[in-house]
A and B are shown apart, each in its own frame.
Chain A
């Protein structure tokens, strides 16, 4: 280490000398570069100062030192590498060993440098650059060639002592800028699509992999192709893009026009398929059109989700509300009006959904298109809207049916004969009911119905609250700012003794009936018959009807406004399925009143109380 410390001081002194300028005035005498071309030998070069001629040759000396040979030695070969150089052959070269060299002039250190041989590798240029023709294009305009070369001869690539990386440059003869390719590890590279009528130049250089410095370039290779057929087509064939685009557009336009304006509905539907409207799965509209009420009920009962939703949310109500947001639409063609109108087809279309796809009939269905129905309503209506519409219609159906049944229990055929889909319509027709009492009710209904405008804002849909296991539909009143079910409401005053036969197997009762009975309560004592009936079947009575009717004894013929806030739902106290629900009594302010509500829930206890 002593020698190294000496070296250190010398170097420091030398550097300071160099900075301050030595008395040799050799100014520019310094090392230019040291390089090893093949990792086996190396040489160092220096420049001589401008005053070289003044100095005696040989006064410049170079010394080197290695770690393992801890003494300065003079350069072994000043000649082989040219002037102002020092050449170290392989016996003097030791890779991975730090060298330090110094340049002295007349004894004074001029320059110094330290390095390791593996850091100064800079190979010689490759040799043997040539090219061969690979193929010529059919048009005889372009050609592919393969350029080959050999590594520098002094590098021992075969043994793997040094791994070389090559970089090829090329350009056309008259260009000034060389283009370069990516570095390669192989000694040949193809060049594609050279023009036969042009001349090219290529050159290649190499460096050791993992180092940065490239060696010198090889000689430039000139590539000239033997003159081929000079009369070859000069211009490249320009693909007629313009014509193709124009004709393509024309063809497409013609086709589109043909399709759109043709009468071929099939093709039209193939190209522009109709958008299916959502519908309820599993419900066969034909059945709803023509089937019996019980069948409809069973079908609905299958869909359990109908039941569950009732207890949870009023989302249906909200959906319904949205449907008639537009005031114009409301006044013109509200659902109420449509339902009350004499138009058969409109009500038919409620159940007109075909079961052939996952939605309701599309807007293109002819039977819908032919109706006066507000098509957009139909088509835009979501299934949720459709559902309550239908169910509300059903509620009405049931209500009316019930009425009919109540009035003529023997007339079961009558309600059955009434198509559920046209129940609303049938309001306006005289019913073939033998019971005279109902005639007046119908007339009353009719008068009511004849003023659709008065009911324009009335929502007489009744929400189906539940479906009994027997398949009967239980209604609960919907929006109770309305009058409820006007149809059912319209004949509360009509009381006949035959209403004692109110008891029916499927015990659905309109709240109309309830009001009826409240009105009747002081009058008719025959309602005791009713009491046992309530225990028979499933009895669901709306609480609303309970409360409304309870609050309005004797005034049931008036279509009540909803001054009394009526809860639509009441909590169930006991479920006595299949016999009925016993509800909490909180919603029932007047348990003393005798009443029956047909479309609703009432607790059997209260019923028992009511009925003597």
Chain B
């Protein structure tokens, strides 16, 4: 009798303790490899990772742009910069701090997602076409490949964040479609280089936007505007 009572009390104690531990909240765990819904990752960790990745993408795209400028676009930068227009210009992104402050985080997040999605296709073709370019420096090609990978990763992370911050919101927003492939494949070398320059410039700009918006959201949501 005594033995069984001891046994039951121990079991009860174990149950209580385990409940307490579980109720303490989600402990920071590695990001789920199997996609969202299979494990819980803290929002703080998700944002930390997203900020890191977007920072990295911005770095890579800046370097890639500078390399390309140095190599192919000396003396032509002015003209091409004057004429370029990015395929993501149609997105109503805030252009200064006040606008960004007034934009709701839902809108900001869907904007980020739209940007990321709209860059999937161009990045893929960028890699293919850069590979085919004669004498392309490895610095450019390797960075292009990495940016494509990181973009996908960031998109996944953002979708997870979106799912956590705004549960149940619809994710399928239309995003701008890129149609600049013919210009990348044109036979005219100068026109081709110009198209590349344009694309890389847009990539740098959009990665800067994504980076800034994410940092904004991070400070707003996680740190309560007190970074």
Contacts and interface: CB of A to CB of B under 8 A. Distances in A.
Given A118-B208, A160-B215, A40 B220 contact: no
A158 B219 contact: yes
A40 B101 CA distance: 13
A161 B216 CA distance: 6
B97 A40 contact: yes
Contacts of B97: 39-40, 90, 156, 159, 161
A114 B81 contact: yes
Interface stretch (A93-101, A171-179, A288-296, A565-573): A93-101
A161 B99 CA distance: 12
Contact of A159 (B83, B101, B208, B209): B101
Interface stretch (A3-11, A326-334, A595-603): A3-11
A209 to B, nearest CB: 7
A38 to B, nearest CB: 9
A194 B131 CA distance: 54
A158 B59 CA distance: 22
Interface string B86-112: 000000010111101100000000000
Interface string A343-369: 000000000000000000000000000
Interface in B44-97: 55, 58-59, 62, 78-79, 81-85, 93, 95-97
Contacts of A96: 93, 95, 205, 208-209
A7 B62 CA distance: 26
B218 interface: yes
A159 B227 contact: yes
Nearest to B226: A158
Contacts of A160: 215-220, 223, 225, 227
A93 B99 CA distance: 12
B82 A11 contact: yes
Contact of B95 (A7, A97, A158, A161): A97
Majority secondary structure of chain B interface residues (helix, strand, loop or mixed) = helix
B211 interface: yes
A96 B97 CA distance: 12
A67 B98 CA distance: 20
Interface in A41-68: 67
Contact of A95 (B59, B96, B218, B220): B96
A265 interface: no
B212 interface: yes
B93 A8 contact: no
Given A67-B85, A209-B55, A116 B205 contact: yes
Q: How large is the interface on A (under 10, 10 to 19, 20 to 34, 35 or more residues)?
A: 20 to 34
Nearest to A116: B205
A5 to B, nearest CB: 8
B58 A4 contact: no
A255 interface: no
B227 A95 contact: no
Contacts of B219: 158-160
A159 to B, nearest CB: 6
Interface residues of B, number: 33
A163 interface: yes
A11 B208 CA distance: 28
A11 B215 contact: no
Interface in A3-44: 4, 7-8, 11, 39-40
A157 interface: yes
Contacts of A262: none
A7 B58 CA distance: 30
Contacts of B205: 96, 116, 118
A4 B83 contact: yes
A502 to B, nearest CB: 83
Contacts of B209: 96
Nearest to A15: B78
A550 B220 CA distance: 109
A158 B225 contact: yes
A210 interface: yes
A96 B92 CA distance: 12
A96 B215 CA distance: 16
B57 to A, nearest CB: 10
A40 B96 contact: yes
A59 B208 CA distance: 38
Contacts of B78: 11, 114
A4 B80 CA distance: 11
Contact of B82 (A7, A93, A118, A157): A7
Contacts of B95: 94-97
Contacts of B81: 98, 114
A161 B211 contact: no
B51 to A, nearest CB: 9
Nearest to B227: A160
A299 B227 CA distance: 84
A11 B215 CA distance: 37
Contacts of B96: 40, 90, 93-95
Interface string A71-106: 000000000000000000010011111101000000
B221 to A, nearest CB: 10
Interface string B184-227: 00000000000000000000010011011001111110010111
A98 B205 CA distance: 10
Contacts of A90: 96-98
A67 to B, nearest CB: 7
Contacts of A157: 227
Contacts of B215: 160-161, 163
Contacts of A93: 96
A475 B98 CA distance: 106
Given A90-B96, A97-B95, A160-B218, 16 more contacts: A4-B82, A39-B97, A40-B96, A95-B95, A98-B81, A114-B78, A118-B212, A158-B227, A159-B97, A159-B216, A159-B227, A160-B215, A160-B219, A160-B225, A210-B58, A210-B62
Interface of B: 55, 58-59, 62, 78-79, 81-85, 93, 95-98, 100-101, 205, 208-209, 211-212, 215-220, 223, 225-227
The list of the 3 closest CB pairs from A to B, nearest first, reads A160-B219, A160-B215, A94-B95
Interface of A: 4, 7-8, 11, 39-40, 67, 90, 93-98, 100, 114, 116, 118, 156-161, 163, 209-210
6 contacts: A90-B97, A96-B209, A100-B82, A118-B212, A210-B59, A210-B208
